[in-house]
Structure 1
Amino acid sequence: MKNYQLYTVEDFIRDEDFQHWVQGRSSQELFWLTFVQQHPEKQAAIRQAEQFIRAASVAPERISEAEVRREVERFIETAGAFSLPPVPVSEQAADGEGRVMARLGWRWGMAAAASLVAVLAVGWYFYAGKSAPPAASLAAVPDRQLVETTNDTDHPLRIVLTDSSEVLLSPKSRIRYPSVFAEQAREVYLTGEGVFSVKRQARPFLVYTGEMVTRVLGTRFVVRAFALDRKISVQVLSGKVSVYKHKPEQTPATKEVSGLILTANQAAIFEKSDGHLTKTLVANPALVETSSRTVDFVYDEVPLPTILRELESSYQIPIQFDEQSFAACNVTAALTSESLYQKLDLLCKSVSASYEITDGQIVISGRGCK
C-alpha cells in the first residue's frame, strides 16, 4: 500500500498511478479527488508534479524545410569564409609545405563537417516531418509548443493551468495550451466541452473553439464545441465574458471586436453553418450569490414590479416590462422551490401576461392591471 501522505514532488512524478490520473487514463479518479481534498498540505506538491507531467507531453516543435536550408547555407558560408591568420615569412620558409598541408586539411575537415550537418539536418527534417502530427490537427494554433490533454475517460478530468486557473474537461474532449502563458495573453484551444474557472489577472484569458473566441479576465463559464455539433455554445455561470468570431488579423491585444457581452445565466450560440452569433439564456438559470440579503420569494399582496426586480437581482438577468402598466398588479404567492422559468409562468398567469427571451433578456408583455 502506497503512503501518498509522505510523497514528495519527485515521488508523485515517478508514480505510474498518479501519471495515469493526470493523463486522464486512471480508473481511480474518485480516490485522487478525495485525496487532494483530505490532504491540503499536499496540494502544492501535487500541482507541481501535475504541471511537470503535462509539460513533458509537449509535442516536438516542427522546423520548416526553409529554416533547415537557411541554417545549413549559413553554416557553409561561415565555414568557407573563415581563414587562418597569416603566417609570418620566417615560419613560411621553415615549414611551408607542412603548413600548406595543414591549411588544406583544415578546409577539407570544415567542408566535411558542413556536409555532415547538411545530411543530418535534412534527415532529421524528414524524420520529424513523418512523426509530426497532421497539419489539420494544429489548425489556427500559433507556431509554438503546446501541452495537449485528451480526456478518454467517461468522467470529467480536472486540469490546473500554470496561472492557477482550472478546467474541468468533459469526456471525449481535448484542450491544448502553452506550458507557460505568454505575457500579453493566456490562450487555450478547446475541442469538446470544458468548465473554466479563470483566475482574475490583467492579461486576458482566451478560449479558441473553431471560429469563435471567448475572452475573459476572471470568471466561471462553460464552453461546448464538439466537432460533430452544429453549434458552439458558451454559458456564463458567474462574472462577464465577451464572445466574438475569430478573424486572422485579430490579436490578443485587439481593443475592439464585434461580438456579444455575456453576464451570469446568459449564453451565446454560434451557428457553424452560417456563422451567426446570438445571445440567449442558459437552460436552467441559477441564483447568483450576492452580499445582499437572501430572498425567500414569498409574497403577500406585493406589487408585481417589486417581485420582478427581486428576480432580476437574484438571477442577474435583465427583465424588461412596462412598470406603469403592472404597478397595480398585486400578487400573493410562495415561489420557493420553482425554477426561474416556473416562477415567471406562475406570475404571468396571475396577471394574464406572457414573457419571451430576447437577446439574453426576459421581456414581459401584457395589458396590466387597472
Structure 2
Amino acid sequence: MNNYKSYTLEDFLHDESFRNWVQGVGNQEVFWITFLNKFPEKQEVFRQAEHIIRAADVPADRISEREIRNEVQLFIERAGQIDPTVSGIPVASGRPRIFTQKIFVRWAISVAAMLLVSVGLNWYLNKTKTEASGLTALRTGPADLVQTSNDTGKPLKMTLADGSEVVLSPKSYLRYPSQFADSSRIVYLVGEASFSVKRQGQSFLVYTGEVITKVLGTRFVVRAFDQDKKITVQVQTGKVSVYVAKPKLVHSEKEVKGLIITANQAAIFEKDISQLSKTLVKNPEKLTKSSVENISRYDEVPLPVILHDLEKAYGITVQFDARNFMDCRITATLSNESMYEKLDILCRTISASYEIVDGQIIVSGKGCQ
C-alpha cells in the first residue's frame, strides 16, 4: 500500500499507475480523479507531476536538437563578448579579469538553459491551445478512448456510438470509447455538456471529477469546469441518479449515498465541503408531454387546483396544506410568465409565500377564512 501522504514529485513521476492515468492509459481513472479530495495537501506537487508527464509525452518534432545547440552556442558566444563590469554584474575586487569572465560565461549558460526551457514550455502550451478541435485516440486498457475537444467559441454537437447526442460547450472536452461495452456506457467530461442519452439496457455514466451521473435514457446538462467551486447536474426530462465516486467500494457495502433528480431539478456538489444537495433549475420549463397544455385563465378557482396544475406542467412537487387553501379562490390570467413568476402572483394574491426545499416547492400561509 503506497503512503500517498508522503508522496514527493519523484514518487508521482515513478508511479506507473499515475503515469498511465495522465497519459489516458490504465483502469484507475476514479482513484486519481478523486485523489486530491483525499489528499488536498498534495495538490501542488500533483499538478507539477501531471504537467511534466504531459509535456514529456509531446513528440519533439518542431524543434530539432541541432537548432537547440546552435541557439545555445550563439547565446554563449554573444554573452562572452559582453564585459561583466559594464553589464551590471558585480565583480569581486582583486580577482583576475579572466576569472570573472569564466564566471560570467557560466552564468550565461545557466540563463540560456532556463531560456530554452521557457521557450519549449511556451511552445508546448501554445501548441496545445491552438490545436484544432477533433478526435484524438487515447489508449486505455483493452479499448481505446477517444477525446473530443471544443476549442471554438460555439457549442459542438456530436453523436456517440450508441446514438446518444452530446452538445459540448466551449473550452470543454469529452473522453469516451469508440464502441461501448455490453455492461455499461461510460464517458468522462471536463467542462460542460448537454446529453440526450438513447435508452438502452445498460446504464450511461458521466464521470466529472468526484461526481458520477447515472442514467438509462434522458436529457440533462452537466457543468464541471476545474475552476468552478461547484459541479452541477440539471435534468431536462426523465430521471438521473447523482452520487460521489468512491475509489474503493467495499463489496459488502451496498448503499450508495446519492440523489435522485427529475425534470427541472438540479444536483449541486460543492467541492470545498464535498457536499451534494438537490434544488431546482434556474428557469424551469414546461414538460413536453404535460397533461396541462395551457395555463391561462382562472376564474374563482381554488388555489390547490392551480398548484396541482403547476405540478403537472413542470413535473415539480408542490407541497401545501390543501384544506387550509381550499377557500382561497383565484381569478388570474397566467400565460408567458416563468414558473417562479406564476408562484409570485399566486402567493401575493393571498399573502402567502413559497420556498425551495430539497428540489420541491413548499407553499405556506394563513389561508383564506
TM range (shorter): 0.5 to 0.7
Correspondence 1:243 to 2:242: yes
Following TM superposition, by how much is the alpha carbon of 1:62 offset from its aligned partner in structure 2, in angstroms? 5.5
Report the counterpart of residue 271 of structure 1 in structure 2.
270
Change (3 A) 1:298 1:182: same
Following TM superposition, by how much is the alpha carbon of 1:296 offset from its aligned partner in structure 2, in angstroms? 3.0
Following TM superposition, by how much is the alpha carbon of 1:329 offset from its aligned partner in structure 2, in angstroms? 0.1
Following TM superposition, by how much is the alpha carbon of 1:292 offset from its aligned partner in structure 2, in angstroms? 2.7
Change (3 A) 1:156 1:332: same
In 2, the alpha carbon distance for the partners of 1:367 and 1:214 equals: 40
Correspondence 1:165 to 2:164: yes
What residue identity is the alignment partner of 1:174?
Answer: Y
Deviates more, 1:144-153 or 1:255-264: 255-264
Correspondence 1:288 to 2:214: no
- Pairing 1:34-73 to 2, within 5 Å after superposition: none
Is the CA contact 1:60–1:145 (under 8 Å) kept in the aligned structure 2? no
Report the counterpart of residue 56 of structure 1 in structure 2.
none
Change (3 A) 1:368 1:151: same
Change (3 A) 1:62 1:292: closer
Is the CA contact 1:62–1:132 (under 8 Å) kept in the aligned structure 2? no
Report the counterpart of residue 100 of structure 1 in structure 2.
none
Give a deviation string over 1:154-210, Cα, whole Å, max 9, x none.
000011000000100000001000111111110000000000000001100000000
Report the counterpart of residue 328 of structure 1 in structure 2.
327
What residue identity is the alignment partner of 2:350?
Answer: V
In 1, the alpha carbon distance for the partners of 2:323 and 2:345 equals: 20
In 1, the alpha carbon distance for the partners of 2:192 and 2:277 equals: 19
**Structure 2 unaligned runs (5+)?**
1-21, 27-53, 60-138
Report the counterpart of residue 131 of structure 1 in structure 2.
57
Change (3 A) 1:250 1:188: farther
Change (3 A) 1:61 1:284: closer
RMSD: 2.5
Highest Rg: 1 or 2?
1
Is the CA contact 1:328–1:369 (under 8 Å) kept in the aligned structure 2? yes
Give a deviation string over 1:296-325, Cα, whole Å, max 9, x none.
331000000000000000000000000010
Report the counterpart of residue 368 of structure 1 in structure 2.
367
What residue identity is the alignment partner of 1:211?
Answer: E
Change (3 A) 1:142 1:273: farther
Q: TM-score, normalised by structure 1?
A: 0.61
Following TM superposition, by how much is the alpha carbon of 1:142 offset from its aligned partner in structure 2, in angstroms? 6.0
In 2, the alpha carbon distance for the partners of 1:220 and 1:61 equals: 28
What residue identity is the alignment partner of 1:131?
Answer: D
**Structure 1 unaligned runs (5+)?**
1-58, 64-127, 134-140
In 1, the alpha carbon distance for the partners of 2:242 and 2:352 equals: 33
Report the counterpart of residue 147 of structure 1 in structure 2.
146
Report the counterpart of residue 113 of structure 1 in structure 2.
none
Change (3 A) 1:264 1:290: same
In 1, the alpha carbon distance for the partners of 2:263 and 2:57 equals: 44
Change (3 A) 1:255 1:295: farther
What residue identity is the alignment partner of 1:182?
Answer: A
What residue identity is the alignment partner of 2:234?
Answer: Q
Q: Identity rate of aligned residues, in percent?
A: 58
Report the counterpart of residue 257 of structure 2 in structure 1.
258
Correspondence 1:313 to 2:312: yes
SS of the aligned residue for 1:147 comes to strand
Following TM superposition, by how much is the alpha carbon of 1:61 offset from its aligned partner in structure 2, in angstroms? 7.4
Change (3 A) 1:142 1:232: farther
Following TM superposition, by how much is the alpha carbon of 1:233 offset from its aligned partner in structure 2, in angstroms? 0.2
Change (3 A) 1:294 1:350: same
Is the CA contact 2:291–2:313 (under 8 Å) kept in the aligned structure 1? no
Report the counterpart of residue 205 of structure 2 in structure 1.
206
In 2, the alpha carbon distance for the partners of 1:178 and 1:309 equals: 44
What residue identity is the alignment partner of 1:181?
Answer: F
**Count of residues in Structure 1 that have an aligned counterpart in Structure 2:** 240
